[in-house]
Amino acid sequence: MTRKRIAITGGTGFVGRHFAELLRERGHEAVVLSRRTGGDIGDIDALTCAFEGCDAIAHLAGINRELGEQTYSRVHVQGTRHVVEAARRAGVGRIALLSFLRARPNCGSPYRESKFAAEEMVRNSGLKFTILKSGVIYGRGDHLLDHLSHALFTLPLFATVGWCQPPLRPIAVRDVVRILRESLLTNRLENRTLAVTGPEELTMRQVVERVARVIGRRACLFPLPVAFHRTLAAMTEAAMDVPLVSRAQVRMLAEGLCEPTGDVDPLPEDLRPTTCFIDDEIRAGLPAPGPFTCAHLSLSCTAEST
């Protein structure tokens, strides 16, 4: 395959780092863009310069909580508008957007609504597009395994969200970036919206129990109402640089993360995620063992990219 030059917004974030690594392993050039490295999605001119000479764009920048000027509207809506306009100016004709499985309009969730607005901009952009509506993604450097393991080392008590447990389908980051690669380097997934979830349907209790087993901790699990978790999320958002849980994530878990909203296209058989949430995969994605420390507390007003 001819060497391609792919721009990645949110390129220093969790999925962005893994995607850049995959591209480089396959002999392609990854143009990593973020507020840290330049190419801020708030600056159309900077984006246009960064996109010059690129064959495609992976738009992965996103936040799961609002902090200061980093609001859902500014990052997901205005940021996507800037990315699309900069792509047109730079003559880049293909884009892949990483969205959320349950994104939809008029649902009372600013996070979901902003993600859906971004989807609509990409669909109506005139560019060749692929939209990935993803559930919970796990792997080295994620929030799921990182926060669960630190929480269990800190105190082996875990409260599940709500009295019932809507299921989720955790998906390995390796499966996500494989689909992203196919979206941007071939025409197979052109102008499609795809649901991207893992092969196993699990409850949050099962997820926690598997992580606890791998790190050698015994977890005491019990349910608490959604209102408790919303309060906890507000507190950890205020206290932690990357919060233990955000209010948007509480709503995700309360609703369930198995089925997408809206119309989606089927994934080709060879691209369907096959990586199960098993011990070896969990172990490979874990951070260094240990409890939460002062390093996890908020030291700045920055928000992480997806």
What is the extent of the structural domain holding 24?
5-202+234-296
* Residues present in the chain in total: 306
- 3 state DSSP class of 254: helix
Contacts of 237 (CB under 8 A, 6+ apart): 65, 67, 243, 246, 247
Looking at residue 19, what is its pLDDT? 98
Distances in Å between the Cα of 275 and the Cα atoms of 139, 147, 149, 194 are 11, 21, 20, 18
Can you give the pLDDT at residue 306?
A: 59
| Separation of alpha carbons 290 and 284, rounded Å | 16
Give the pairing type, strands 128-134 and 171-172.
unpaired
Q: Which residues contact 71 (CB under 8 A, 6 or more apart)?
A: none
Could you give the CA distance from residue 261 to residue 121 in angstroms, rounded to a whole number? 17
| Residue 31 is assigned to a structural domain of this protein | yes
Structural domain includes residue 110:
yes
pLDDT in tens for each of the 306 residues of the chain?
Answer: 799 999 999 999 999 999 999 999 999 999 999 887 777 899 999 999 999 999 999 999 999 888 888 999 999 999 999 999 999 999 999 999 999 999 999 999 999 999 999 999 999 999 999 999 999 999 999 989 998 999 999 988 888 888 888 899 999 999 999 999 999 999 999 999 999 999 999 999 999 999 999 999 999 999 889 898 889 888 888 887 777 778 888 888 888 899 999 999 999 999 999 999 999 999 999 999 999 887 766 543 333 345
Asked if 93 contacts 128 with a C-beta cutoff of 8 angstroms, the reply is: yes
- For residue 98, tell me if it sits in a domain: yes
Query: What is the CB neighbour count within 10 angstroms for residue 279?
Result: 12
Question: Could you tell me if residue 212 is inside a domain?
Answer: no
- Into how many domains does the chain fold? 1
| pTM of the model as a whole | 0.92
CATH number at residue 178: 3.40.50.720
- Structural domain includes residue 208: no
Query: Is residue 96 a part of any domain in this protein?
Result: yes
From residue 230, alpha-carbon distances to 109, 114, 201 in Å are: 13, 20, 24
Give the pLDDT score at 298: 54
Residue 109: which of 72, 144, 136, 156 has the closest Cα? Answer: 72
Task: State the pairing for strand pair 94-100/128-134.
Answer: parallel
DSSP 169-216: --EEHHHHHHHHHHHHHSSTTTTEEEEE--S--B-HHHHHHHHHHHHT
For residue 306, being part of any structural domain is answered with no
Report if residue 27 sits inside a domain. Answer: yes
